Amino acid sequence: MKPKHNKIWIELDEPKDAEHAKAMCYQANNMLHRLGDTGGREFWWDTKDHQYCFGGDMGYVTLPDRGTWFNLDYLGRGD
């Protein structure tokens, strides 16, 4: 079965603490905003469960492996 699009995996490092995790989310979100519109979805740190999440107003997913797949065809498009 042929994939619908090319993909790229973005994974954040294991944080030293919650402040480090929040700083990495901030940087990763800045990078994503530069690459393209992610539909309001962003990385964030769940202080209760001590793990990264990715999502927005319409829901989110927890990232036990600290990363998620993105559409490379969209984010890697030329201007």
Give the model confidence (pLDDT) of 3-60 as tens digits.
678 999 999 999 999 999 999 999 999 999 999 888 899 999 999 999 999 999 999 9
User: What pLDDT, on the 0 to 100 scale, is given for residue 9?
Assistant: 96
DSSP 12-44: PPPPSSHHHHHHHHHHHHHHHHHH---TT-EEE
Predicted TM-score (pTM) of the model is 0.87
Whether the Cβ atoms of residue 25 and residue 9 lie closer than 8 Å to each other: no
Can you give the residue ranges of every domain in the chain?
A: 7-75
- Length of the chain in terms of residues written: 79
